[in-house]
Amino acid sequence: MADPISLRIDDEDRPILTVAARRAGVGLGTYLRQIVHERARELRVAQIRAETQGVGARAKADVKVREFYEDIGTPTSRV
């Protein structure tokens, strides 16, 4: 497990989070870790998408890359 951190929760927020944690059937600490984990995943996905768009923009600006993709076509994925 990672190193512990200290987190101050506002007096008005704590009861709301406590109720949400109870509804989820976990303690407040576990609930907060779940929220942080989910948000970190969202941020990772957003970062990957931004990097992908950056690569696409650079590729689009490069004549040789555009010619390469014109020759082979645009890749498609089938799930």
DSSP code string of 2-66: PPP------TTTHHHHHHHHHHHTS-HHHHHHHHHHHHHHHHHHHHHHHHHHHHHHHHHH-HHHH
pLDDT beyond 80 at 10: yes
For 25-69, write each residue's pLDDT tens digit.
999 999 999 999 999 999 999 999 999 998 888 888 888 888 887
Residue 22 C-alpha from the chain's centroid: 25
Output the pLDDT for position 47.
Answer: 95
pLDDT beyond 80 at 9: yes
pLDDT category, 1, cuts 50, 70, 90?
Answer: low
Output the pLDDT for position 74.
Answer: 66
pLDDT category, 21, cuts 50, 70, 90?
Answer: very high
Q: Where are the domains of the chain?
A: 14-72
Rg (CA), the chain: 22
